[in-house]
């Protein structure tokens, strides 16, 4: 991996504090520069979890991705920088039931820190995986709780987000569910396009043709009626340059 190119992509300095201070800085830098997005699914482009393909998409072509792509690639960067990384499977809480196995990918870094730059709207900084008390983050109050089966629930402001299985996995373990998320009508990723990015003041999101900008307690929604405005929004807010005439299926 070209580590310097990746650091340049996320606007992170090549030198600086080490240890958890740098991990926190890298985590937030990633969230503010690399969008969580599922556009390839609606462009009919197969998503590959090969590291070189992920690097080409996220770094060279300045795109984003969803959990398997973003956390999958970030794991390799952290390893190149000297961190130990364990890949863990999680199941997302969706109302009254959990999602399928391998529904989500998270990272356990240096045996302590829960790292997740691929959930869309989550903690701005790594969470202490060993703590079972409230953890305050700019995105809310998080709590990790053990389940009777030995898994770990992650809650935000009292609401369950996902359940982590603590057995180490490889990225290859997620290939089948990644394919399911791309192709199955039961996957929420196939229902509509989504692209979201953390900003210094809040968050910017494109949900289909609705542009949502939150700043502090304010929220503004704009309907983008034509394709030109939609492509301009992807370019201006997320740095995603799609060719003129691009349409989503």
* Catalytic residue selected from 116, 122, 195, 237: 116
The answer to whether the CB of 41 falls within 8 A of the CB of 47 is yes
Other beta carbons within 10 Å of 101? 13
User: 195 catalytic, yes or no?
Assistant: no
Token reading at 72? 């999958």
208 part of the active site = no
Residue 116: active-site member: yes
Residue 110, φ and ψ in degrees, nearest 5:
55, 30
Residues 6+ apart with CB under 8 A from 139: 121, 122, 123, 124, 156
Among candidate residues 30, 83, 104, 122, the one labeled active-site is 104
| Phi-psi label, residue 243: left if phi above 0, alpha if psi -120 to 50, beta otherwise | beta
Q: Are 117 and 34 in contact (CB under 8 A)?
A: yes
Given the residues 67, 83, 122, 195, the one annotated as active site:
67
Active-site residue list: 67, 104, 116
């Amino acid at each position: 991996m070209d580590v310097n190119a990746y650091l340049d992509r996320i606007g992170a300095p090549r030198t600086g504090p080490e240890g958890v201070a740098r991990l926190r800085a890298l985590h937030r830098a990633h969230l503010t520069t690399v969008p969580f997005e599922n556009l390839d699914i609606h462009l009919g482009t197969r998503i590959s979890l090969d590291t070189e393909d992920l690097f080409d998409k996220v770094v060279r072509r300045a795109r984003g991705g969803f959990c398997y792509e973003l956390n999958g690639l970030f794991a390799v960067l952290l390893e190149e920088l000297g961190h130990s990384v364990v890949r863990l499977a999680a199941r997302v809480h969706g109302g009254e039931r959990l999602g399928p196995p391998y529904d989500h990918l998270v990272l356990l870094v240096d045996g302590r820190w829960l790292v997740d730059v691929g959930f869309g709207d989550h903690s701005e900084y790594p969470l202490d995986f060993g703590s079972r008390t409230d953890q305050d983050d700019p995105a809310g109050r998080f709590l990790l709780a053990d389940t009777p089966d030995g898994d770990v629930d992650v809650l935000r402001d009292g609401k369950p987000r996902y359940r982590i299985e603590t057995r180490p996995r490889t990225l290859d373990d997620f290939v089948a569910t990644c394919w399911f998320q791309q192709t199955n009508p039961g996957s929420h990723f196939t229902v509509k396009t989504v692209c979201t990015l953390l900003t210094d003041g809040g968050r910017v999101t494109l949900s289909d043709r609705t542009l949502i900008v939150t700043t502090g307690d304010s929220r503004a929604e704009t309907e983008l009626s034509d394709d030109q405005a939609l492509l301009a929004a992807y370019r201006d807010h997320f740095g995603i340059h799609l060719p003129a005439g691009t349409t989503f299926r």
